[in-house]
Chain A
Amino acid sequence: MRPRLAVLALLLGAAGLLLSAGAPPCFAQIDINIQTATGPMESHIGNFTGHSEPGKAYYRRYCIGCHGPIGDGNGENAQWFDPNFGFAKPRDFTLATYKCRSTPTGTLPTDEDLYDAITRGFVTTNMPQWRPLTEQQRADLVAFIKTFSVKWTSQKVGTPINVPPEPAANIESILRGREMFQKMQCWKCHGPEGHGDGPSAPTLTDSKDNPIRPYNFAVGSRFKCGETNQDLYRIFMTGLDGTPMPSFADVIQPGDAWDLVHFLRTLQPLETPEAKAWKEWIVTHGKELKPIGAEEAPGGGK
C-alpha cells in the first residue's frame, strides 16, 4: 500500500507542478526556457496592478510563438513574417524601444501605453487585438514584458506630452494643415496624396534594417497607434521609435499640430467632419491649390 501511495503522490505532485506553472500539460512547451533580464516587475493601469509572475504564464501561452523565449522578437513564427511584403517583424522587448507612446521620443512608454498596444493590436502587422484577455491578464503581461530589458530598472518612464484641447476643424484649419504637410515634408515618405508613396518611401528601413512602409492614408484603416484625432496628434509629435517616423514635438507648435491633424483626416476615405468640409470647399476652390511635393528649383525644371 505504502509504495503505491507514494507513487500516486508523486504523480499528483508532478501534475500539480505542471498546472501551477500555468502551462497546459504539453511536453514540447515545458522545455522552453524563458530568460528575463530583470527581477519581478509590476505595472499600474487604472485600478489594476499587474504582476510579472502570472504574466509569464500568459506570455508562454499567447506571445512566445512570435516574440520568442528571450523576448527578442525571434519566436518560431517570426521567420514567416517577411518585411519585404509589408509584414513587420515582432517587437524586440530586449531593446525597450516602442512605437506607440504618449511619451517623448527616446523615453520609455507608460504602462498604459503598453496596455493599449496589447489591447489594440497593430493594424498593419500580424499582432492581433487581445481584447479576449481580461484586463488583469493584460496588465500582468505589461509587467512581464518589462522584465526583458534592464532599461526598465535604469531609465525613467517619460512624461506624457501635453495634448491641448482640439480647436474647431474648419476649412481654414485644414488649409493651414495642408501647408504644414508641405513644409514639414511629410510627403517625402507619405506621398503628396498620403498614399505612402513619397520619393523616400522605397528605401525606408526600421532600426533593425528591415524594410518598412510609410502609412497609407488611402486605405482608411486605423493608425498603428490608435484611431482618434488625439492619437493622430500624438503619433507625429512623439514619433514612432524604432521606425523612420521622427518626432516633430520640437518643431511643430500645438496649434499647427491640430491643423495638421485636420488636414490628414481629409486624406482618408472616411466620413469625417474634416473630409466633409474639405469636399465642399474643393468643389469651388480646387484650382487655387498649389500641388504638394518638390518645389521647382529656381531657374528651371527638375
Chain B
Amino acid sequence: MKIRHLCPLLLVLLVSSGLASVPVPPPAGGTVTGKITYTGTPPKMKPIDMSKEPNCAKEHAASPVLTENVVSGPGNTLEWAVVYVSAGDQGSTPGTQTLKFDQKGCQYIPHVLVMQVDQPFQIVNSDPHLHNIHPLPKINPEWNKSQPPGTPPLTEKYDKPEFISVKCNVHPWMHGWFIVLNTSHYAVSGSDGSFTLKGLAPGKYTLTAWQEQFGTQAQDVTLASGETKNITFTFKALPY
C-alpha cells in the first residue's frame, strides 16, 4: 500500500527534477578541415555530346557539359569527394531534412548526393522531356522509375548504408551518386577540394575519403575538446 502511494510522488519528483535541471552544455565541438588532392595525372574532363537530346544540346550550346567522374582544380585538388566518419562515430543525429536531387539540362544536380540511412530525398525533373531514374544498388532494393516532364517529385529513401551509382538509361551520359551513410558527420569536397567536418565530440575517429574514380583512403584523427585539425587526403591519379 505504502509503495503504491509513493509511486506518483516519485514520478512527480522525477519530472520536476528533470524540468528544473539546467541543460548541460554539449562539449565544444571539434573540427576537421582539409583538402582532397591528387598526385600524378588524372583523366581529363571531356565534353559530353548531347546531340541525341536536342533540348539539352541547345541548353549547353555555349559551353558543353564536362564529365564529372574526376573534377580537378588548380593546385591538384579534387571536387566531389566524400569525407565521413567511418569508425568511432559519436553524437550522430538522424537525417530528417528532405534532400533534393535534380535532373536539369540532362545533368544530375548535385553530381554526388550524400544522405543518411532513412533520410528522405526528392528526385525532381526540371527538364522538358522524360528521364528514367535508375540507381544501381546491390544491398538496397534496385528500382527504376520513369519521370516525364511536369510530374511531381519522387520521394525515396534507403535503409542500408551503400555507395550507389545512378544513371538514366535514356541519356547514357548522365551519371551521379547516392552516398548513403549511417553518420551525420560527412562533407563533400568543394570546387577547391576543401572540406570541413564540424561538431565532432572529443575522441578518436577514423575518417574515410571516397572518390568515385580513385577509391577510398582512411586516416585516424584524435580530437580534444574544441580542437581543429587539418588533414589532407592525397589520391594517386593514374592516367588510363
Q: Mark B147-186, 1 if CB is under 8 A from A, else 0.
A: 1100100100000000000000111100000000000000
Whether A97 lies near B151 (C-beta < 8 A) is: no
Could you give, for residues 118-149 of chain B, a 1 whenever the CB lies within 8 Å of some chain A CB and a 0 otherwise?
00000000000110111010100111111110
Chain B interface extent, by class: 20 to 34
The distance from the CB of B203 to the nearest CB of chain A, in whole angstroms, is: 32
Q: Determine how close the nearest CB of chain A comes to the CB of B173; give it in whole angstroms.
A: 9
In the complex, the answer to whether B132 meets A246 with C-beta atoms within 8 Å is yes
Contact of A246 with B169 in the complex, beta carbons under 8 Å = yes
Contact indicator A250/B132 (Cβ below 8 Å): no
Q: Is B215 an interface residue (CB 8 A)?
A: no
Instruction: Check B134 against A244 for contact (C-beta < 8 Å).
Output: yes
Cα(A246)–Cα(B133), bound, Å: 8
Report how many residues on chain A are interfacial, defined by Cβ distance under 8 Å: 33
Q: Do the beta carbons of B144 and A155 come within 8 Å of each other?
A: no
Contacting residue for B141 out of A107, A204, A205, A251, CB 8 A: A107
- What is the total of A-B residue contacts with beta carbons within 8 Å? 80
Is residue A189 within 8 Å, beta carbon to beta carbon, of the partner chain? yes
* Interface secondary structure of B, over-half rule: loop
Chain A neighbourhood of B154, CB < 8 A: 250
CB pair A199 B145 closer than 8 Å: no
A207 to B154, CA, bound (A): 21
Q: Across the two chains, which residue of chain A brings its CB closest to B146?
A: A246
Q: Which of A95, A204, A251, A297 contacts B169 (CB 8 A)?
A: A204
The residues of B that contact A147 with a CB separation of less than 8 Å are none
Say whether, besides A183-B148, A251-B148, A188 and B143 are in contact (CB < 8 Å): no
The answer to the question of A294 belonging to the interface, with a C-beta cut-off of 8 Å to chain B, is: yes
Q: Is A185 an interface residue (CB 8 A)?
A: yes
CB atoms of A251 and B146 under 8 A apart: yes
A73 CB to closest chain B CB (Å) equals 14
Residues of B within 8 A of A242 (CB): 142
Is the C-beta of A22 less than 8 angstroms from some C-beta in chain B?
no
Contacts of A155 in B (CB 8 A): 141
The reply to whether B142 and A246 form a contact with Cβ atoms under 8 Å apart is no
Q: B46 interface residue, CB < 8 Å from A?
A: no
Contact A245 B148 (CB under 8 A): no
The residue from A106, A188, A302 contacting B130, defined by CB atoms under 8 A apart: A188
Q: Given the interface contacts A250-B154, A251-B151, A294-B54, does A200 sit within 8 Å of B145 by beta carbon?
A: no
> Which B residues are CB-close (under 8 A) to A95?
138, 142
A83-110 interface mask toward B, CB cutoff 8 Å, 1 = contact, 0 = none?
A: 0000000000001010000001111000
Residue numbers in A under 8 Å from B54 (CB-CB): 294, 297, 302
Q: Which residues of B contact A282 (CB under 8 A)?
A: none
Q: Is B236 located at the chain interface by the 8 A CB criterion? A: no
Q: Is B2 interfacial (CB-CB < 8 Å)?
A: no
A199: B residues at CB distance < 8 A: 52
Tell whether, in the assembled complex, residue B52 and residue A207 are in contact, meaning their CB atoms are under 8 Å apart.
no
* In the complex, B104 has a CB within 8 A of chain A: no
Which one of A200, A244, A294 contacts B144 once the chains associate, using CB atoms below 8 Å?
Answer: A244
Q: Confirm or deny: B44 has a beta carbon within 8 angstroms of a beta carbon on chain A.
A: no
Q: How far is the CA of A199 from the CA of B142 in the complex (A)?
A: 25
Chain B residues with CB under 8 A of A81: none
> 13 A-B residue contacts at CB 8 Å?
A97-B142, A104-B143, A105-B143, A155-B141, A185-B148, A200-B170, A205-B172, A207-B134, A245-B144, A246-B134, A246-B145, A247-B146, A251-B151
3 closest pairs, A vs B, by CB?
A106-B143, A244-B169, A246-B132
Interfacial residues, chain B to chain A (CB-CB below 8 A)? 52, 54-55, 58, 129-130, 132-134, 136, 138, 141-148, 151, 154, 169-172
